[in-house]
Chain A
């Protein structure tokens, strides 16, 4: 029973990290029909920025904030420099560019900071908590992970549902031409969208680094599971990203815990195939617009 509880809590923790990555992928997919494979690498870069600041013994929260801000900037730059010239070109091209960027960024990170694993000081203790008389494999830092991702999701929800900026972003994503006719500067909003998406990735990076150890390709598996989560939830749906992330996290945690860790990837693949066979566009596939 404690194993089950531990696995559940663990799965939730990782699941929310996957959800943050998935959210970043969904935001970009919705707006530009691109899967941003560089998202993980960019997050690694921002996490290294945080690590460097922490090494200079800066306050954790300063480093945390700078990493997230760096995420905004890297995202915006990526869109401006690499994506903008490619809109309207064959669909595969921007995707492949993000793959090129993934390799480039990871190599640059390796050249600057070396390829060996290193730790990252967490914000809170990573020691398991004791509830009553049971020791749980669940720490204050894990709680911090849950809270920060949920806060991120909440902020995004508020932004998209209730602000003009969010409305403009949704309009630009769904109907760019109509949005432009109504005076929305669609190009600028795409940049904002990429910035926000990379911001979400940057959060995932600083949160996951204390769990995984920081190295140039730390985010590779996280990105793959985040992608699986986004696909599972439905690539157009931010809510799907959250649900998909949690399901992926739990699924992998149970499979790893009960069947052994080498079954994790196999289990995830099977799960993905089964779910997509039933719902080919993910759990939260957008209802088809009524044709008139």
Chain B
């Protein structure tokens, strides 16, 4: 289980997160929602040592995540797909994928892992030796998610995977995400602008507003509650 409690982050005098607390069950999908600037990205970055945490804790399995160095986290089973531009454009598609497997000293099943990932995202297989710079936006999103999977995480943090994708592709993507979570028992934190599609696959939801948690609960109720949708999600 992921248990975040009292997490605060500030950039200089600007508080980006204040006392954020919530829990996410193992093997579940938690949608993290909120308007622009609500602190969603900051939350994920705080969990992986990329944002300056002021106080609070985040326990995953039996480990404390806060205070660790970013490069250690993948060894605790945490993978973070950052918002936008996470592809290393100077490398080929395959090199990007290999990067995901590198943290393990010995990688006996590495080839197999990559092939399995290609099965999951066929367009990547066709483009494996192309520079990632030549991929389309959607292909890039596939690549960063695929790369995170190659790292074999138990906790996957996805920051706006649907950014810039067509609605149909987004739907497809959400299905894949759901499938992954079910198949591998992945725990997912899914940050999304596209609340409808995120809520459709989520088991739980956390809504942030100006750095605070304003709602936690069942995604179905949330999707149904027009008032809440209006005031925090803007649709």
Contact = CB atoms under 8 A, between A and B. Distances in A.
A96 B152 CA distance: 43
B215 interface: no
A290 B134 contact: yes
A182 B73 CA distance: 8
A116 B50 CA distance: 52
Interface stretch (B27-35, B96-104, B173-181, B195-203): B96-104
B50 A177 contact: yes
A178 B80 CA distance: 9
Given A167-B102, A183-B75, A290-B89, 13 more contacts: A164-B98, A167-B98, A167-B99, A170-B88, A170-B90, A170-B95, A171-B91, A175-B88, A178-B88, A182-B102, A182-B151, A287-B133, A289-B133
B147 interface: yes
A24 B69 CA distance: 29
Given A184-B71, A185-B71, A178 B86 contact: yes
Contact of A164 (B69, B75, B88, B102): B102
Q: Max chain B CB contacts within 10 Å: which of A167, A180, A181, A186?
A: A181
Given A167-B102, A290-B133, A292-B164, A180 B95 contact: no
Nearest to A164: B102
A182 B91 contact: no
A292 B85 CA distance: 9
Contact of A183 (B82, B103, B137, B164): B103
B208 interface: no
Interface of A: 164, 167-168, 170-171, 174-175, 177-186, 286-287, 289-290, 292
A289 B91 contact: no
Contact-residue size bin, chain B (C-beta under 8 Å from the other chain): 20 to 34
Given A178-B86, A287-B133, A292-B136, A184 B103 contact: yes
B190 interface: no
B48 interface: yes
A113 B90 CA distance: 45
24 contacts: A167-B99, A167-B102, A168-B99, A170-B90, A171-B88, A174-B91, A175-B88, A177-B70, A177-B82, A178-B88, A179-B88, A179-B99, A180-B69, A181-B50, A181-B73, A182-B79, A182-B102, A183-B71, A183-B74, A183-B103, A184-B71, A287-B133, A290-B135, A292-B140
A184 B164 contact: no
A16 B68 CA distance: 45
Contacts of A175: 88
Interface string B106-149: 00000000000000000000000000011111001000000100
Contact of B74 (A171, A181, A287, A290): A181
A186 B74 CA distance: 14
A181 B134 CA distance: 23
Nearest to A185: B71
Nearest to B105: A164
A184 B95 CA distance: 14
A216 to B, nearest CB: 38
B147 A167 contact: no
Nearest to A188: B71
Contacts of B71: 180-181, 183-186
B88 A184 contact: no
Contacts of B69: 180
Closest 8 CB pairs of A and B: A183-B103, A183-B74, A292-B137, A289-B89, A180-B70, A289-B133, A174-B90, A175-B88
